[in-house]
Amino acid sequence: QVQLVESGGGLVQAGGSLRLSCAASGRTFSSYTMGWFRQAPGKEREFVAAISWTGGSTYYPDSVKGRFTISRDNAKNTVYLQMNSLKPEDTAVYFCGAKYFRPSYDPGEYDSWGRGTQVTVSS
């Protein structure tokens, strides 16, 4: 399995931006489809974005489409999540996950997870 470490979270005002990073080590990063999920207290883990192993395909739920952008740099073994126009409802712990084959909205299909990074958006 691949080991994942998220960074870049913090406190930001509504309307602001943050860029999350997820650094991978272990097996070949470029073989993995990568996803970002978030989990607020008392809620289930929620899909935020996914990117294919080539970076050629990206996926977003309507709640973040047009505000968030996922990207990857296979040479640096890193996946990013650029978050713009942040809202208080974006407050959560953000996790990156890795899986083989096709991207998925289902966190249960991801094989490896990082420990998460906290994002707090104040109103």
pLDDT by 10s per residue, the chain, length 123 = 899 999 999 999 999 999 999 999 976 888 899 999 999 999 999 999 999 999 899 999 999 999 999 999 999 999 999 999 999 999 999 999 999 989 999 999 999 999 999 999 999
Q: Beta-strand (E) ranges in the chain?
A: 3-7, 10-13, 18-25, 33-39, 46-51, 58-59, 68-73, 78-83, 92-99, 112-113, 117-122
Cβ contacts of 10-16, under 8 Å, gap ≥ 24 = 10/118, 10/119, 10/120, 11/120, 11/121, 11/122, 12/86, 12/119, 12/120, 12/121, 12/122, 13/121, 13/122, 14/86, 14/87, 14/88, 14/121, 14/122, 14/123, 15/85, 15/86, 16/86, 16/121
Residue 8, token pair as written in the block = 């870049």
